[in-house]
C-alpha cells in the first residue's frame, strides 16, 4: 500500500494577525516549539509517507517560505494554486498530480496548521483508515471524540458501526453549532469533531468528483492532460478560473454514499485563534501565559506574545496582547475570533503593508 499525502497550506490565518501575514502565514509560525505548524505536520508523517510522496498545495506568495522551511520535500511537489478556490478544487488539483504519479495511490489529505500531540496514536489511526479505504473503496474522514461542547468546530454524526469499535458510517455533517446545540451533540454520544482530515484512493475521489461535481471533474481532466506540456500553466489558470469555490464537505462528502469515519483518539486542535494557543499553552499560578520579559501584576487569565520587548500588564484580566515590529493587538480573549475583522478593516483601507 503506497500512501501519498496532500497538505493544504494556502490560508493566511487572519485570526492570527499581526503575527500571521500573507508572506508568513499561520502555518509557517513557530507557535508552540522550535518547529512551525507545517514542519510539525510533515514530521508526524514519518513512517507512513515518504517525503517524495508529500505534496503541498499553496500559492505563489507563500511558496518560497514553504520551500525554505521544508528542504526535504521536492520543490516540484509544492504546488501553486493560481487562485484560492476552497478545498474541493485544491484537493482535485493535488489528486490529478498524485494520480499522474500513481493511479493506485491512497491519498491522505491534511490541513497544514493543526496541533497533534500524540504522533504515535495519529499514525495508528491513519494506518487503520488507509487500510479500510483501500479495502472498501471508501471516503474516510477522521473524527475526534469531543471532550467539551466546542462551538468552533464542525461535527460528524456517526451511524451504524462498520468495523471494530471505531469505524462508522456517517449519518450527517453539522456546521459549527451554537453552545446549546454543541452541548446536545456531546451529550448524545454519537457526534465527533470534524477534523478536516480525509483518506481515500485517488481513483475513488476522482469518481466522486465525476458523480457530484462534473464541471470540476471536466476541468481536472483537462489539467491532467496538460501535465508536462509547455502550456500547463495556461491550462491551469484557464480551468481554475472556471471552477466553483466550494468545500470538499459541501461538494462531495455530504452527498456521497461512500463516506465513513474513523475515530481518532489523539489530542487534536485546529489552532483557530490566539485563544486556542492560550488554551494549549502552559500557564502560571494566575493562569497567565508569557515569557521571561513579561510582568503580570495583579493580572489573570491573559496571554502575551511580544517582540523581545519588556511588557507589563497591571490590574487586567482575560487579555490577549500580540506585538510585532509594526503592529500591536490587544483584545479580550472572548473576542479572539473577531481578530479577522481587523484584517478586513486593513484590506478595506488598503493598508497592504500590514497584511
Domains of the chain: 3-269 (3.90.550.10), 274-354 (no CATH)
How far apart are the C-alpha atoms of 57 and 91, rounded to whole Å?
8
**Pick from 152, 176, 352, 189: which is nearest to 269 by CA?**
152
- Give residue-wise pLDDT tens across range 294-351: 999 999 999 999 978 899 999 999 999 999 999 999 999 999 989 999 999 999 999 9
At 97, the pLDDT band (50, 70, 90 cuts) reads very high
| pLDDT at res. 7 | 97
Number of other CB atoms surrounding residue 17 within 10 Å:
23
**Least confidently predicted of 12-16, 179-183, 216-220, 227-231:** 12-16
| pLDDT at res. 291 | 80
What is the radius of gyration, based on Cα positions, of the chain?
21
At 66, the pLDDT band (50, 70, 90 cuts) reads very high
pLDDT above 90 for 220: yes
**Least confidently predicted of 22-36, 40-54, 80-94:** 22-36
| pLDDT at res. 5 | 97
Q: Position of cell 449519518?
A: 171
| pLDDT at res. 317 | 97
Calculate mean pLDDT across residues 100-120: 93
How far apart are the C-alpha atoms of 111 and 7, rounded to whole Å?
6
DSSP per-residue letters across 305-333: E-SS--EEEES-BSEEEEE-SS-EEEEEG
pLDDT above 90 for 262: yes
At 10, the pLDDT band (50, 70, 90 cuts) reads confident
Angstrom CA distances, 72 to 43, 78, 162, stand at: 11, 11, 38
| pLDDT at res. 227 | 93
| pLDDT at res. 45 | 96
Asked if 329 and 311 count as a contact pair (C-beta separation under 8 A), the reply is no
Phi, psi of 87 (to 5 degrees): -80, -25
| pLDDT at res. 101 | 87
Percent of the chain residues past pLDDT 90, beyond the cut: 83
Maximum Cα interatomic distance, the chain, rounded to a whole number of Å = 65
Pairing state of beta strands 294-297 and 319-323? unpaired
- Give residue-wise pLDDT tens across range 125-181: 999 999 999 999 999 999 999 988 988 889 999 998 887 768 999 999 998 899 999
Q: Mean pLDDT across the chain, nearest whole number?
A: 93
Asked if 268 and 196 count as a contact pair (C-beta separation under 8 A), the reply is no
| pLDDT at res. 308 | 80
pLDDT above 90 for 246: yes
Which three cell numbers, joined as nine digits, stand for 32? 508552540
Calculate mean pLDDT across residues 108-126: 94
Q: Is 107 helix (H, G, I), strand (E, B) or coil?
A: strand
At 216, the pLDDT band (50, 70, 90 cuts) reads very high
| pLDDT at res. 40 | 95
- Cβ-based neighbours of 140, under 8 Å, separated by 6 or more: 129, 132, 133, 198, 199, 200, 259, 260, 261, 262
Q: Look at 291 and 314; give whichever has higher pLDDT.
A: 314
| pLDDT at res. 251 | 95
Calculate mean pLDDT across residues 181-187: 92
Calculate mean pLDDT across residues 25-42: 92
| pLDDT at res. 186 | 92
Amino acid at each position: 500500500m503506497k500512501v501519498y499525502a496532500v497538505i493544504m497550506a494556502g490560508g493566511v490565518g487572519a485570526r492570527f494577525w499581526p503575527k500571521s501575514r500573507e508572506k508568513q502565514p499561520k502555518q509557517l509560525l513557530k507557535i508552540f516549539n522550535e518547529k512551525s505548524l507545517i514542519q510539525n505536520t510533515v514530521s508526524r508523517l514519518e513512517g507512513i509517507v515518504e517525503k517524495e510522496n508529500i505534496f503541498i498545495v499553496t500559492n505563489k506568495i507563500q511558496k518560497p517560505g514553504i520551500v525554505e522551511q521544508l528542504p526535504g520535500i521536492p520543490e516540484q511537489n509544492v504546488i501553486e494554486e493560481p487562485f484560492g478556490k476552497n478545498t474541493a478544487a485544491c484537493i482535485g488539483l493535488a489528486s490529478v498530480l498524485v494520480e499522474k504519479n500513481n493511479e493506485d495511490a491512497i491519498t491522505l489529505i491534511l490541513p497544514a496548521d493543526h496541533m497533534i500531540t500524540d504522533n504515535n496514536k495519529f499514525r495508528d489511526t491513519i494506518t487503520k483508515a488507509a487500510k479500510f479505504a483501500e479495502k472498501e473503496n471508501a471516503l474516510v474522514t477522521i473524527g475526534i471524540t469531543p471532550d467539551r461542547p466546542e462551538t468552533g468546530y464542525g461535527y460528524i454524526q456517526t451511524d451504524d458501526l462498520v468495523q471494530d469499535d471505531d469505524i462508522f458510517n456517517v449519518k450527517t455533517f453539522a456546521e459549527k453549532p451554537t453552545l446549546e446545540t454543541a452541548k446536545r451533540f456531546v451529550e448524545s454520544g454519537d457526534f465527533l469533531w470534524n477534523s478536516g482530515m480525509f483518506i481515500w484512493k485517488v481513483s475513488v475521489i476522482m469518481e466522486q468528483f465525476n458523480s457530484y461535481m462534473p464541471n470540476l471533474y471536466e476541468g481536472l481532466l483537462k489539467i491532467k492532460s496538460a501535465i508536462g506540456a509547455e502550456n500547463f500553466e495556461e491550462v491551469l489558470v484557464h480551468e481554475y478560473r472556471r471552477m466553483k469555490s466550494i468545500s470538499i464537505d459541501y461538494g462531495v462528502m455530504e452527498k456521497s454514499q461512500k463516506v465513513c469515519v474513523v475515530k481518532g483518539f489523539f489530542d487534536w486542535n485546529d489552532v483557530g485563534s490566539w485563544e486556542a494557543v492560550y488554551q494549549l499553552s502552559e500557564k502560571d499560578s494566575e493562569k497567565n501565559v508569557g515569557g521571561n520579559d513579561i510582568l503580570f501584576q495583579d493580572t489573570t487569565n491573559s496571554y502575551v506574545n511580544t517582540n523581545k520587548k519588556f511588557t507589563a500588564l497591571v490590574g487586567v484580566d482575560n487579555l490577549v496582547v500580540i506585538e510585532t515590529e509594526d503592529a500591536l493587538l490587544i483584545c479580550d480573549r472572548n473576542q479572539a475570533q473577531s481578530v479577522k475583522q481587523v484584517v478586513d478593516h486593513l484590506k478595506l483601507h488598503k493598508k497592504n503593508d500590514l497584511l
